[in-house]
Amino acid sequence: MKKILFFIILFIVAGILLKACIRADKPEIIENNIPTGDLKEIVYPVQEKNVTINGVDYLQSQAPIGKYGGELIISTIGEGPKTFNPCNTKDATSSSMAGVMYDGLVSTNPRNGEVQPLLAKSFEIKGNDYIIHLRHGVKWTDGKPITAEDVMYTYEEIVFKGLGNPSTMDAMKVDGKLPSIEKLDEYTVKFTTPHAFAPFLRQLSYPIVPKHYFKPYSDKGDSVFNAFLNPNTPPKEIVSSGAFKLKEYVAAQRVVFERNPNYYKINLDNQKLPYLNKLVYLIVGDSNNEILKFEAKEIDVLSLRGSNVAQYKLKEKDSDYVIYNLGPDTGTLFLVINLNNRKDKNGKPYVNPVKHKWFANRDFRAAIDWAIDRKSMVQNIASGVAEPLFTAESLNSIYLNKYIKGHPHNDCVALKSLEKAGFYMRNGKLYDKAGNRVEFDLYTNAGVLEREALGVMIKQDLAELGMKVNFKPVEFNSLVNKLTNTHDWDMAIMGLTGSPLEPHDGKNVWTSLGSLHMFNQRPAGYSYDDRLDWEKELDEIFREGALKLSYEERKPLYDKYQTIIYNQKPIIYLYSPIRITAVRKKLKNIFPTALSGLIYNLDEIYVE
C-alpha cells in the first residue's frame, strides 16, 4: 500500500479532531461472548461400525432405522454449480455437490473431530507410513469395483500433479516434497511422508475418483481435465461413489440427485442407505428468494439471517420447523487487499502502480481496519446474530488466538495512521503526497445480499476518511477470475470455508506460492524470491507447524501466524455470523453439531 503524507491543512484539522477523540493508542478490549448453541438435548448415535456381509465390507449406521422414500429439498444461492468434477471445485456450491457424489478414504467425526474411516475400512500409522485398507466389494455407480488402483490414480495422477484445484497438493507438501504412495495389494495402499506430518491423515478425505472413467481426460492435460464433468455433462454418463448420484441438472433452476443403490452404507437392519429417493438443490438468485421459497414450503432447510431470527423463533412453536443454534460459523468473512506488484507477460502491471503504493503501505491498511465499523455491521447487517472477527482462524477454532482482542471503530486513529503514511485531506477528499485522489474498486460476488450490504457499509465507512470507493458486485466466476487469473482488482469482500480443527488446511492461502494466496498471488512461473519479510515468516510457520505432532507444540506457531495477519492486515476480518438454521420437523435423524452443521449425514436422514 501506498505511503501517504498529510499536508498543513490536514495537520491542523486532524489535530483538532484528535484532541476531541478518546485516546486509542491502546485498543479497547472487546470480549467475545459467543452463544454456545442449543444442542445439549440432542441424543447422538454412536459411531458407525464395520460390518462384513457376503464378502462386502459395509459401514453400518447406528442411527435409528428410518423410512425409505421421499425427498429433501435444499437451496443454493447464485447460479448453480460450475463443475461436477470433485477434483476441480473452487466454489462452495460445486464442492458441496461433488461431496454428495464422491467419498474420500476418511472423514471427520462430526462431534469430536477425530479422523474416521470412510471408503477405507481401517488405517494404520507406523512412523511416517500410513497403511490404508480399503473396503472389499464396494462399487462405483457403473458396477465396477473400487480398488487400490483408483486410489493410486487419484493421488499419483491428479493430486500430486496438481490437476484441477491444486490446494490438496499444496497442503500435502513438506519442505517442498510430496508423500509417496505404494500399492501393497488390490485393497491396500501405503502412503509415506518425508517427515512426521501432523495434518496428513486428515488430507486423505480428498475424493477418490474412478480411474477407468477419469484417466482418458486427465491424460489430455489441464484444459481438457478442467472442462471434464462440466454442468452440461449428461447425468447418466457420470460414474461416482457417494450416497447420491446425479439425475438432472436444469441450469439456473435445480440440481437433482437420486439414491445410489450401490452405496456401501447400511442401517441397523443391514438394509442399504440412503433412505431418501431424491436430494434436490433449488438454485435461488439471492437470500430473499430463499426465504420466500422456505415460507412457501418449497425448500426444507433455511439458514436464517440475523434480521429474521426473532420472527421465525416466535413462530416456531406452532410451525412445521425447528430452529437450531449451531454457534459461530466455521468459515471467515473478510476484506482482502491486492498487494501484487508484478507484471503480466506484456509488461503491464497487474495493479495500477499508484494504487499499489497505497495498498503496500501497512499504515494505509491499518487505517482501513480502524475505519471499518464492525459493531454496526453486526447490528445492522447481522441484526446482532454475529460477533466481530479479527483473526484468521474462526471463532470456534481450537487454534484461535484468544490474545487478539481487536479494537473498536475509530476514525481518529484511522486518520492518524493515514497522516503517518503521508496522506492529506482537502475538501473532504483524501490525496497521497503526489496529489493523487484516493479512489479504488471494491468487488464482491453479486446475489449474496449480506456481502452486498457489507460493501455498501465499507464504502460509507471509508468515505469518512475521504476515500472514494467504487463498489462493484460481479458474477462469482468473474470475481474468481480476477482474483486468481487476471489479478486486476483492488479490494474484495470474500469468504472462505475453514476447518476449526486444522490450520494447515489454510496453507494454500497463507504460504507464498499457495494457490489461494490471493492478496499477493504469484502467477504461474513466478518464484517467491520477492517475498515480503512477514510472508517468509508465514512460510516457515506453516512448514514447522506441519512437522510438530502435538497440539501443545503447534498452538504457539498458529497463534503467531494469526498475530502476523492481524498486524500486517493483507486481509481484514469483519465478523463471524452465528449459524441459526431452521429445518422441517418431518425430517428425522437430524443430529446437528457445531462442527459439521445440520444435514451432514444425508445418508441417514429420512422423511416421516
Do the Cβ atoms of 410 and 21 come closer than 8 Å?
A: yes
Check pLDDT > 70 for residue 16: no
424-426 and 429-431: which strand pairing?
Answer: antiparallel
Q: What is the mean pLDDT of residues 386-394?
A: 96
Check pLDDT > 90 for residue 582: yes
Check pLDDT > 50 for residue 14: no
Confidence of residue 286 (pLDDT cuts 50, 70, 90): confident
Amino acid at 419: E
H/E element, 350: none
Between CA 401 and CA 396 the distance in angstroms is 11
Do the Cβ atoms of 389 and 332 come closer than 8 Å?
A: yes
Beta strands in 268-344 (DSSP E): 278-284, 301-303, 321-328, 332-337
Q: What is the mean pLDDT of residues 411-432?
A: 97
Check pLDDT > 50 for residue 27: no
* Percent of the chain's residues with pLDDT above 90: 77
User: Bigger pLDDT: 232 or 6?
Assistant: 232
pLDDT confidence of residue 307: 82
Check pLDDT > 80 for residue 26: no
Between CA 384 and CA 577 the distance in angstroms is 9
Q: What is the mean pLDDT of residues 390-394?
A: 96
Q: What is the mean pLDDT of residues 505-524?
A: 90
The rounded Cα 528 to chain-centroid distance in angstroms is: 25
List the grid coordinates of 282: 433449488
Q: Which distant-in-sequence residues (6+ apart) come within 8 Å of 176 by Cβ?
A: none
Chain segment 54-104, per-residue pLDDT in tens = 999 999 999 999 999 999 999 998 889 999 999 999 888 999 999 999 999
The DSSP result for 464-483, as a single string, is TTT-EEEEEEE-HHHHHHII
**What's domain 8-31+330-578's architecture?**
Roll (3.10)
Pick the range with the lowest mean pLDDT from 217-221, 362-366, 430-434, 512-516: 512-516
pLDDT confidence of residue 42: 85
Q: What is the mean pLDDT of residues 406-423?
A: 97
H/E element, 407: none
Structural domain spans, the chain: 8-31+330-578
Between CA 31 and CA 567 the distance in angstroms is 19
Cα distances from 77 to residues 126, 305, 345, 382, in angstroms, run: 44, 13, 36, 18
Do the Cβ atoms of 604 and 48 come closer than 8 Å?
A: no
pLDDT confidence of residue 11: 27
Amino acid at 426: R
pLDDT confidence of residue 495: 93
Between CA 298 and CA 569 the distance in angstroms is 42
Burial of 228 (0-12, 13-18, 19+ CB in 10 A): buried
Q: What is the mean pLDDT of residues 544-558?
A: 93
Confidence of residue 509 (pLDDT cuts 50, 70, 90): very high
Chain segment 147-180, per-residue pLDDT in tens = 999 999 999 999 999 999 888 998 898 888 999 9
Cα distances from 41 to residues 111, 322, 450, 467, in angstroms, run: 14, 13, 31, 50
Confidence of residue 447 (pLDDT cuts 50, 70, 90): confident
Number of residues assigned to the chain:
608
Q: What is the mean pLDDT of residues 219-234?
A: 95
Check pLDDT > 80 for residue 22: no
129-134 and 180-185: which strand pairing?
Answer: unpaired
Amino acid at 243: A
Q: Which distant-in-sequence residues (6+ apart) come within 8 Å of 412 by Cβ?
A: 17, 18, 20, 21, 22, 24
pLDDT confidence of residue 255: 97
The rounded Cα 203 to chain-centroid distance in angstroms is: 15
Q: What is the mean pLDDT of residues 6-15?
A: 29
pLDDT confidence of residue 28: 26
Q: What is the mean pLDDT of residues 29-50?
A: 64
The whole-chain average pLDDT of the chain stands at: 90
List the grid coordinates of 582: 431452521
Between CA 371 and CA 384 the distance in angstroms is 20
**SS3 labels along 520-543:** HCCCCCCCCCCCCHHHHHHHHHHH
Chain segment 287-328, per-residue pLDDT in tens = 889 999 999 999 999 999 888 898 999 999 999 999 999 989
pLDDT confidence of residue 38: 62
**SS3 labels along 38-66:** CCCCCCCCCCCEEEEECCEEEEECCCCCC
Alpha-carbon dihedral sign for residues 390, 396, 399, 405: positive
Confidence of residue 271 (pLDDT cuts 50, 70, 90): very high
Check pLDDT > 60 for residue 365: yes
Between CA 148 and CA 272 the distance in angstroms is 23
Confidence of residue 549 (pLDDT cuts 50, 70, 90): confident
